[in-house]
Structure 1
Amino acid sequence: MVEVLGNINSWVWGPPLLILVMGTGIWLTIRLNLLQVLRLPMALKLIGKAPNEGDGDVSSFGALSTALAATVGTGNIVGVATAIKMGGPGALFWMIVAAFLGMATKYAEGLLAVKYRTLDKNGNYSGGPMYYIEKGLGPRFKPLAIMFAASGILVALFGIGTFPQVNAIVSSTEASFGIPVVVTAVILAVLTGIVTIGGIKSIAQVSTKVVPFMSVLYILAALGVLITFAEEVPSAIALVFTSAFSTTAATGGFVGATIMLAIRSGVARGIFSNESGLGSAPIAAAAAKTKWAAEQGLISMTGTFIDTIIICNLTGLTLLVTGVWNGNNEGALMTQAAFASAFPAFGADLLTICLILFAFTTILGWNYYGERCVEYLIGVKGIKPYRFLFIALVAGGAFIKLDAIWIIADIMNALMAFPNLIALLGLSGVVVSETRVYMEAMGKKKQKE
C-alpha cells in the first residue's frame, strides 16, 4: 500500500503542480510589486493593531491565530526533518523560496476570502476557495469549488488534521514520558471534543492564548541550540545553498539528493507546513472582523513568514548544525536528538512539549476548516456529524503507520491546491484592484493624521 501511495504521490507532486505552485507565487509577486517585502512591516504592525472594524465572527488576530494554529504544527518539526532526510539540506533552501513566493499567495487568499465570504444559516461567516471559486470565477467553475471542498474534508479527516498530528504526539510522549499510546489518544480526543464543539469562537479563544506562547517557546529553544553550536552555523548555511543546486549527495546517509528531489521535498513539506496555495488559511481569514479585504490579506501573509521563514528555518538549521540530519533517526525523533545535543538534561522533553502544543492546535484549526467545507457541500446539518467523526479519527490516528501518513497527507494537499491555485490566477486582477483601493485609502488616512 505504501508503495502504491508513493507512486501516486510522485505523480501528483510532479512538475505540473510544482510549476503551478511556484508560478502562481511568482505571478502574484510580480503583479503585487513585491508586496511581501515592501508591505511586510505594515503587515506585522497590523497583527496587534488591526482596527477590527466591520462584520465578522472573531478578531483579525483571532483569525490569524486560528490559521497559525493549523499551520504551525508537525510540519515545522517533523516535516522539516522529513524534507531534509529525503531531499538533503538543499530542501531547506527550496522550502524558504516556496515560502517567500507563498507569502504573496497567502495574501491573495486572505483578501479573496473576505471579499467573497457569506453567512451560513447559523449566522456564522463562511469563506475560502470554494466561495471565491464559485462567486469570483463564476457558477460554471462550481465543479472546481466542489473538488476543493471535498478534498478539504479529506485532508481534515485523513490528512493534516488528524493522523500526522496524533502520530507525532503519541510517539513523542511515549518516547519521552513513557505514556501508553492508548492513554494519549483518549486524552487528545477528549480535549479536541471540548474545544471544537464550540466552533470558531472557542477555537480562536484557545488559539490566541496557546499559539503565541508555543511559538515564542520554540523559537527561543531553537535559538538556544544554534547559539550552542554557533561555530557550525556558517558551514550549515553554506551546505543549504550548495546542496540546493547539487546533483550528488554532499554526504551519505539520506535517500538520494538530486536537485529535483530537493525541490520536491522542500516545496511539498513547505506547503504542508505553511499551507500557502493550499487554500486552507483563507477559510479562517473569512471569519475576521474587518471592512477591508486587503487588510486581512496582509495579516494572513504574516502567517507564512512566521511559520516557515522563521520557525521551519530554525528547525532546519538545528538539524544541520548538530549533525543529526545524517543519522538514523527520522521525524520527531531526529529533531529531538538535535535539541538533546544542545540540552542533554531537558532538550528532548522540551521539544516534546512544543510538539504536543503544535500538533494539538493544528488539530483544532483543521477541524474548523473541514467543518466549513462540509457546510459548503451539504449545509449546517452536516456540521455535528462531521465533528463527531473528526474526534473519532483523532482517537484512532495513533495507530496508523508513519510512512503512509505523510504520503496520504501530501496527496490530499495536492488535490486541494490545484483548484485553489487556478482560482488565484484567474482572480489575480481582483486582488490587484482591491490592493490598490486599500493602499490609496490608507495613504489618505495617513495624510489626514
Structure 2
Amino acid sequence: MESFVEALKGIQGVVWGPITILLLLFTGLYYTIRLKGIQIFHLHKSFQYIFEKEEGQGDVSTLGSLCTALAATIGTGSIVGVATALRAGGPGSLFWMWLSAFFGMATKYAECVLAVKYRSKDQNGQVAGGPMYYIELGLGKKFKWLACAFAFFGIFTALLGCGTFPQVNAIVESVNNAFHVPVGILGVIITVLAAAVIFGGIGSISKVAELVVPVMAIAYILGCVVALILQADQLPAAFAQIFQSAFTPHAMGGGIAGTVIISVMTAMRTGVARGIYTNEAGLGSAPIVAAAAQTNSPVRQGIVSMLGVFLTTIIICTMTALVIISSGLLETPVNGVLLDGGLLSNTAFQQSLPGNIGLYIVSIGLVFFSFTTIIGWSYYGERCLVYLCGGTKLITIYRVLYIICIAIAPYLTLDAIWILADITNALMAFPNLVGLLLLSPVVIKETNTYMENLKREKAEKAARGFTGVGDIEA
C-alpha cells in the first residue's frame, strides 16, 4: 500500500506541477483583466440575482442551480481538505487558496457564461451543457477530442475522486469519532440515502440541495464565528503565520535556498490544488449544472455562479482554517501525534468551543456537506457520460457503479483518497482551461453586450424618472 501511495504522490507532483498551477492562475488573471475586475465590481449583483425569479429555459431555478453547485463544493474540502492542506503546506497554503479563489471567481464566471450559451438537450429533454459542449460547439469538431478528454476525466473524477471516496470517508471518520457509530452501519446508511436521491435525477438533487445547503452553511459559519470570537486574541498571530508561511519555510529548519523554494512550492501547490478542490473554479464541474438553470442570459448566470467561489473558499474555508491555526494544533502534538484531516478539524473546534458543541458542529456539518457533494457530483458524472455515449442509455449502469463506489469508500485510507482526488481534478481542469482561453473572445463579447444593455436600461429609467414620463405612462 505504501508503494501505491508513493506512486500516486509522484503522479500528483507531475499533474500539479508548475504548468497546471500557472495555467490556473493565468486563466483567472487573464479574465480578471479582460473583464475589468468583474468579481469585484459586480459581486453585489450575484446576491441580487439569486433572489430574483427569472423566466427561461432550464431544468432548475437559478437558486437551485447555485445550491446544487455549492452542494458539490461545500463538502470535505471546506473542512477536512483545509486541514490536510494546512498540515501538508503549512498556514501559507491558505494564502494561495485565497489567491486562486480570487482569480477563480473570474474563471468560474467565464465557465458558466459559456455553459449557458452553448447548452443543448439530451434524448430525455433534459438540459445538457458544460465544458464538453462549449469546447465542441464553440471551437468546432476538430476539438472534439479535447471535449471527450474532459468528459472522460469528469466521469473518472465523479466515481473515484471528488464525488465518492473523500466525502464518504470523511462522514464515516467524523461520525464514528463523535458518536461511535460502527463503520459498516454508516456505510449502509449513506449508500441507501444517496441511492434514493441519485435515482430521482436533477430535480431531486436540486431540491435536497436547496433545503440542506443554506441551513447547514449558515449554522457552520455561525459556529466558526463564535469559535473565532472566543479565541480572538490568537487571530493576529494566525494571520501573521499565514502570510509568513506563504513565502518562507514552514516547520523546517535551516536556511538553505533549496529548502525555501521547496517549502514555498509545497504551500503554493497544496493551496492552489485544495483551492480548486473546494471551489472547483477552472475544474469545469459547476458549468454542468449552471447550464441547467432557468435563464435566458449567460452573463446573468455567470455572475450568480461566481458567488459559489466566494462563499466556499473566501468565507467557509477561511473560517475553518482560522479556527485550526488559532487553536495551535498545527504545531502541538496530541498524545505525541500531530493530528490531520477530520480529526484535526474536530479537535480544533472542540478545543475552541465549550463542551462538545465544536465536535457536533464539525461532525454534523461534514455529514450534510459531504452528502450533498456526493449527490451533486453524481449529476456531473452522469452528464459527462451522456456526452461521451451520445445518449442516456448507460445512465442506470453509471448510477449503480456510483453507488458501489460509495459503498466501498468507508474502507479506503485517507492519504490515497486525497491524492487521487487531486490527480483527477488536475486531469479534468486541463482541457477545460484550454477551452476557456480559446473561447475568451466569446465571453468578453457576451459580457460587454450585457453590461452595455444594463447601462442603457439604467439611463432610460433615469430619463423617465427625471422627465416624469414614467409617471404619466403609469
The answer to whether the 8 A contact 1:60-1:288 is kept is yes
Structure 2 CA distance for aligned equivalents of residues 10 and 224 of structure 1:
38
Structure 2 CA distance for aligned equivalents of residues 341 and 251 of structure 1:
29
Deviations 1:8-62 (A, max 9, x none): 110110001001001111111111011100111112211222x322100010110
Aligned to 1:333: 343
Aligned to 1:205: 207
Structure 2 CA distance for aligned equivalents of residues 130 and 308 of structure 1:
26
SS in 1 for 2:293: coil
1:302-381 map, 5 Å = 302-326=307-331, 327=333, 328-346=338-356, 347-378=358-389, 379-381=391-393
The answer to whether the 8 A contact 2:158-2:164 is kept is yes
Deviations 1:228-257 (A, max 9, x none): 1000111111111111111353789xx997
Deviations 1:313-372 (A, max 9, x none): 111111111112223111011011111112241211221000101100000100000000
Relative to structure 1, the CA distance from residue 19 to residue 434 in structure 2 (aligned partners, 3 Å threshold; closer, same or farther) is: same
The answer to whether the 8 A contact 2:89-2:250 is kept is no
1:178-257 map, 5 Å = 178-247=180-249, 249=251
Structure 1 CA distance for aligned equivalents of residues 213 and 79 of structure 2:
15
Aligned amino acid, residue 374 of structure 1: L
Aligned to 1:103: 105
Aligned amino acid, residue 183 of structure 2: V
Structure 1 CA distance for aligned equivalents of residues 455 and 197 of structure 2:
41
1:10-25 map, 5 Å = 10-25=13-28
1:359-438 map, 5 Å = 359-378=370-389, 379-438=391-450
Structure 2 CA distance for aligned equivalents of residues 183 and 308 of structure 1:
32
Structure 2 CA distance for aligned equivalents of residues 313 and 75 of structure 1:
12
Structure 1 CA distance for aligned equivalents of residues 68 and 250 of structure 2:
41
State whether structure 2 residue 268 is matched by structure 1 residue 266.
Answer: no
TM-score of the superposed pair, with normalisation by structure 1: 0.97
Aligned to 2:35: 32
Aligned amino acid, residue 202 of structure 1: S
Relative to structure 1, the CA distance from residue 260 to residue 266 in structure 2 (aligned partners, 3 Å threshold; closer, same or farther) is: same
Aligned to 1:294: 299
SS in 2 for 1:380: coil
Structure 1 CA distance for aligned equivalents of residues 207 and 456 of structure 2:
34
Relative to structure 1, the CA distance from residue 56 to residue 248 in structure 2 (aligned partners, 3 Å threshold; closer, same or farther) is: closer
SS in 2 for 1:54: coil
The answer to whether the 8 A contact 1:81-1:325 is kept is no
Unaligned segments of structure 2, at least 5 residues: 462-474
Aligned amino acid, residue 312 of structure 1: C
Structure 2 CA distance for aligned equivalents of residues 393 and 46 of structure 1:
37
Aligned amino acid, residue 30 of structure 2: W
Structure 1 CA distance for aligned equivalents of residues 159 and 436 of structure 2:
25
Aligned to 2:117: 115
The answer to whether the 8 A contact 2:90-2:250 is kept is no
Structure 2 CA distance for aligned equivalents of residues 389 and 8 of structure 1:
25
RMSD (Å), alpha carbons = 1.4
Deviations 1:284-331 (A, max 9, x none): 100000010000000100000000000001111111111122231110
Relative to structure 1, the CA distance from residue 240 to residue 386 in structure 2 (aligned partners, 3 Å threshold; closer, same or farther) is: same
Give how far 1:446 is off.
2.7
Aligned amino acid, residue 156 of structure 2: L
SS in 2 for 1:385: helix
Aligned amino acid, residue 442 of structure 1: L
Structure 2 CA distance for aligned equivalents of residues 441 and 292 of structure 1:
12
State whether structure 2 residue 58 is matched by structure 1 residue 48.
Answer: no
Greater Cα radius of gyration, structure 1 or 2? 2
The answer to whether the 8 A contact 2:323-2:352 is kept is no
Structure 2 CA distance for aligned equivalents of residues 417 and 119 of structure 1:
24
1:4 to 2, 7, 11: 7
1:278 to 273, 283, 293: 283
Aligned to 1:94: 96
Aligned to 1:441: 453
Structure 1 CA distance for aligned equivalents of residues 383 and 170 of structure 2:
25
Aligned amino acid, residue 425 of structure 1: L
Aligned amino acid, residue 267 of structure 2: A
Give how far 1:448 is off.
3.8
Give how far 1:442 is off.
2.1
Relative to structure 1, the CA distance from residue 38 to residue 6 in structure 2 (aligned partners, 3 Å threshold; closer, same or farther) is: same
Relative to structure 1, the CA distance from residue 251 to residue 123 in structure 2 (aligned partners, 3 Å threshold; closer, same or farther) is: farther
Structure 1 CA distance for aligned equivalents of residues 148 and 386 of structure 2:
12
SS in 1 for 2:284: coil
Structure 2 CA distance for aligned equivalents of residues 137 and 388 of structure 1:
34
Structure 2 CA distance for aligned equivalents of residues 128 and 350 of structure 1:
34
Structure 2 CA distance for aligned equivalents of residues 311 and 47 of structure 1:
19
The answer to whether the 8 A contact 1:226-1:317 is kept is yes
Unaligned segments of structure 1, at least 5 residues: none
Relative to structure 1, the CA distance from residue 130 to residue 403 in structure 2 (aligned partners, 3 Å threshold; closer, same or farther) is: same
Structure 2 CA distance for aligned equivalents of residues 426 and 57 of structure 1:
28
Aligned amino acid, residue 347 of structure 2: A
SS in 2 for 1:398: helix
Structure 2 CA distance for aligned equivalents of residues 344 and 368 of structure 1:
39
Moved beyond 3 Å, runs of 4+: 247-252
SS in 2 for 1:236: helix
Structure 2 CA distance for aligned equivalents of residues 279 and 416 of structure 1:
7
The answer to whether the 8 A contact 1:91-1:265 is kept is yes
